Structure 1
Amino acid sequence: MIPRKGGIFMLQVAAYCRVSTDKEDQANSFEAQQRYFREYIQRQPDWELQGIYADEGFSGTSTSKRVEFNKMLHAAELGQIDLIVTKEVSRFTRNTVDALQITRELRRRGVGVLFLNDSLDTRTNDGELRLTIMSSFAQDESRRTSERSKWGQMRSMEKGVVFGGSLLGYDVIGGKMTVNPEGAEVVRLIFHKYLQERKGCSTIARELREAGILSSKGNCLWSSATVTKILKNEKYCGDLIQKKTYTPDYLTHEKKYNHGKEPLVALKDHHEAIIDRETWQAVQRELSRRNRATGCGGHGNRYPLSGKIRCGECGKSFSHRTKKRQDGSSYYRWCCFTATNEGLRRTDGAGNTIGCSVGRQIRDDIAMDLLRRSVNAVTLDKKSIISSLARVVESVLASGEDSGEQELRRLELEFEKLQTRNDTIHDRFFDESITKADYQRAKARCESEMNRVQEKIAAIKQRQTLNTDTQTLKPDIRTAITGIVSGRTADDAFYGHLLQQMTVYRDGRVEVALNLLPAKWVYVLDELEKYRAKIGGHDASSVPMSVSSPLSSG
Structure 2
Amino acid sequence: MRVALYIRVSSEEQARHGLSLQEQRDALIRYAKANKMTVAGIYEDAGISARKPYKKRPALLRLLDDCKAGKVDTILFIKLDRWFRNVAGYYDVQTRLDQYGVTWQATEEDYETRTASGRLKVNIMLSVAQDEADRTSERIKFINDGKRAKGQPAGSKAPLGYIIKGRQYQIDNGTADAARDMFAAYIRLQSVLGVKRYMLETWGIDRAYTKYVNYFRNRLYIGEVYGIENACPALVSKQDFDIVNDILRQRSQRCAGIETDRVYLFSGLLHCKECGKTMQSETAKQIYTYYRCRTRMLDTSACQHKKRIREDALEAYLLHELEGIAERNNRYYKKAEKKPTQSADAIRKKMDKLKTLYLNDLIELDEYKKEYTTLKKSLEAVEEKPKTNLDALRNGLAEYDTYLREEKKEFWTRFIRRIDADDDGAFFVTPR
TM-score w.r.t. the length of structure 2 is 0.49
**Higher RCO (CA 8 Å, separation ≥ 6 residues):** 2
| Greater helix fraction, Structure 1 or Structure 2 | 2
Q: Which one has a bigger Cα radius of gyration?
A: 1
- Calculate the TM-score normalised by the size of structure 1: 0.40
